[in-house]
């Protein structure tokens, strides 16, 4: 089995192919260095408070696996379940948030609706005063949500893959998918051709560049998504805070950096850098919510390339090409899903069939219209 892309998804898929399906001839091909794409560029937010049943099942399973992984992979990647507040600032957002909390609870996901006094207790540095331009009127609260150290997660997976005999090949770009009619035969790479019976694409942001030469167009658009960090500070921020309305989110990393992000840059592009006005707007929004941040300095900004689908949900599963499988379209939210992606994508590659959790996420939904519209819960980053 050949996997294209050694980000979190490719590595997790290789891990489950070997660990759960006993497959040993697995290669993961990476154009750059291990986990140098979005895996190392994301802001590490893990949560499962999505609205729809299909999403709750998939992201809920991911969260359960995150809780198991430190012991299973024997690696402490600093999973910190410090909770996430999704703020609301208008009456309609209050209604939407309450609806989401009820839907979450029906799906067994820990969720509460909290008022400003409770928000102030959970996050004392957040300004909940009523005289703001957009006062904080309430929030959803998921206590089991949190953050983890993404580079450590990649190392944990890579180490275990290596122990299980997986070939991890860096500096090996797949330039073409090789096919005979509607059967995929392998890949052309910057280091030569490699035959493979099954090829799984886990090449976030760049999937269409590989499928389009085969005549397989995908409902994906690639955009830069930026983030930034401050210098190291004392621990001042106890949880994760997101606001779709003023459009910023923030947590504090284990070492002390404030980690901030916002929406995608609106234009399409493959550059791993973004434009300054997005950063300006998110800093303005951050200062409205956290006046204390006026004392902090930005020390680094960067971007990754994310691929966004029309319904803000991923595409997982088979293609019209025999032997070719897709995992793409995770947009701004695939880090939290990493363990579940590994499991369901490995299932597809090993058995040729969709895992029950992945069944609703097939490419055919863009023909049947059975979309999984998660724009609300995909949150601030869309
Ligand atoms: P990647 O790490 O990008 O892996 C894909 C790999 O494929 C890359 O290493 C790339 O080099 C390789 N590749 C591409 N083309 C080829 C080719 N032709 N040949 C060989 N290799 C190839 N998600 C969350 O859940 N929570 C967050 O807080 C969050 N924050 C984010 C913040 C930012 C700034 C960004 C950019 C993303 C964020 N995300 C977040 C989204 C998340 O990072 C992605 O959805 C997820 O990482 C995608 O899966 P991956 O880890 O496999 O991707
Ligand atoms: O999906 O929670 C998320 C997220 C936060 C920042 C980017 N994506």
The answer to whether the Cα torsion of 131, 132, 133, 136 is positive or negative is negative
Whole-angstrom Cα distance, residue 374 to residue 51?
Answer: 7
Q: Is residue 381 predicted with pLDDT exceeding 80?
A: no
Whole-angstrom CA distances from 201 to 7, 205, 216 are: 11, 11, 13
Q: Predicted confidence band at 200 (pLDDT cuts at 50, 70, 90)?
A: very high
Structure tokens at 283: 């800093």
pTM of the model: 0.98
Structure-model confidence comparison of residues 271 and 72, the more confident one: 72
Average pLDDT of every residue of the chain? 97
Residue 122 pLDDT:
98
Q: Which pLDDT score is estimated for 161? A: 98
Which of 66, 204, 262 has the most ligand 1 atoms within 8 A of CB, as the residue to mutate? Answer: 204
Testing ligand 2's pocket by substitution, the residue of 225, 243, 258, 261 carrying the most ligand atoms inside 8 A of its CB is 261
**What is the pLDDT, as a whole number, of residue 378?**
84
| pLDDT mean over 207-223 | 97
Residues with CB under 6 A from ligand 2: 43, 45, 47, 249, 261, 332-333, 379, 381
Q: Ligand 1 within 6 A of 202 CB?
A: yes
R_g (Cα) of the chain, nearest Å = 20
**pLDDT score of 230 more than 90:** yes
- In Å, how far from its chain's centre is CA 304? 11
* 151 pLDDT higher than 70: yes
Tens-place pLDDT, residues 243-285: 999 999 999 999 999 999 999 999 999 988 889 999 999 999 9
**pLDDT digit string, tens, across residues 322-363:** 999 999 999 999 999 999 999 999 999 999 999 999 999 999
How do residues 1-35 score in pLDDT, each as one tens digit?
A: 999 999 999 999 999 999 999 999 999 999 999 99
Mean pLDDT, rounded, for 183-198: 98
Check if the beta carbon of residue 382 is closer than 8 Å to that of residue 59: no
Q: How far is the CA of 38 from the centre of ligand 1 (A)?
A: 3
Task: Answer whether 255's CB lies under 8 Å from 238's CB.
Answer: no
Please check whether residue 67 is in contact with residue 146, taking contact to mean a CB–CB distance below 8 angstroms. no
The ligand 2 atom at the shortest distance from the C-alpha of residue 42 is: 7
Question: Which atom of ligand 1 is nearest the CA belonging to 175?
Answer: 18
Q: Which atom of ligand 2 is nearest to the CA of 332?
A: 8
**Does the structure show a pLDDT above 90 at 382?**
no
Residue nearest to atom 4 of ligand 1 (CA): 7
pLDDT at 254: 95
Report whether pLDDT(380) > 80. no
pLDDT at 169 over 80: yes
- 206 CB near ligand 1 (under 6 Å): yes
Higher pLDDT, 122 or 379: 122
- 306-319 residue pLDDT tens: 999 999 999 999 99
pLDDT tens digits, one per residue of 74-106: 999 999 999 999 999 999 999 999 999 999 999
Average pLDDT over residues 150-163: 98
């Amino acid at each position: 089995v050949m996997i294209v892309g050694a980000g979190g998804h490719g590595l997790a898929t290789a891990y489950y192919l070997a660990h759960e399906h006993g497959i040993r001839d697995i290669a993961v091909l990476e154009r750059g260095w291990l986990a140098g794409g979005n895996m190392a560029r994301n802001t590490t937010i893990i949560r499962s408070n999505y609205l729809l049943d299909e999403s709750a099942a998939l992201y809920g399973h991911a969260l359960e696996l995150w809780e198991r992984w430190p012991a299973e992979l024997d690696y402490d990647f600093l999973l910190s379940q410090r909770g996430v507040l999704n703020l609301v600032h208008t009456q309609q957002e209050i209604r939407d948030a309450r609806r989401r909390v009820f839907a979450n609870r029906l799906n067994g996901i820990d969720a509460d609706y909290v008022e400003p006094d409770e928000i102030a207790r959970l996050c004392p540095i957040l300004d909940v005063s009523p005289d703001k331009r957009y006062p904080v009127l309430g929030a959803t609260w998921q206590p089991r949500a949190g953050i983890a150290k993404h580079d450590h997660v990649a190392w944990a997976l890579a180490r275990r893959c290596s122990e299980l005999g997986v070939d991890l090949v860096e500096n090996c770009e797949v330039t073409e998918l090789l096919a005979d009619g509607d059967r995929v035969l392998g890949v052309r790479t910057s280091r030569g051709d490699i035959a493979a019976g099954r090829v799984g694409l886990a090449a976030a942001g760049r999937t269409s560049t590989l499928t389009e030469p085969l005549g397989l167009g995908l409902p994906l658009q690639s955009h830069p998504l930026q983030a930034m960090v401050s210098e190291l500070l004392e621990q001042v921020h106890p949880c994760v805070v997101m606001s779709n309305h003023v459009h910023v989110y923030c947590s504090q990393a284990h070492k002390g950096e404030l980690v901030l992000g916002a929406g995608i840059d609106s234009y399409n592009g493959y550059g791993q850098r973004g434009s300054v006005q997005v950063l300006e707007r998110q800093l303005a929004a951050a200062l409205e919510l956290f006046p204390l941040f006026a004392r902090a300095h930005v020390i680094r900004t960067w971007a990754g390339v994310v691929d966004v689908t029309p319904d803000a949900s991923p595409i997982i599963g088979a293609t019209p090409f025999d032997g070719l499988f897709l995992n793409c379209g995770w947009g701004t939210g695939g880090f939290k899903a990493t363990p579940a992606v590994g499991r369901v994508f490995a299932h597809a590659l090993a058995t040729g069939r969709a895992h029950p959790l992945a069944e609703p996420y097939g490419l055919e939904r863009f023909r049947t219209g059975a979309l999984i519209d998660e724009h609300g819960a995909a949150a601030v980053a869309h």
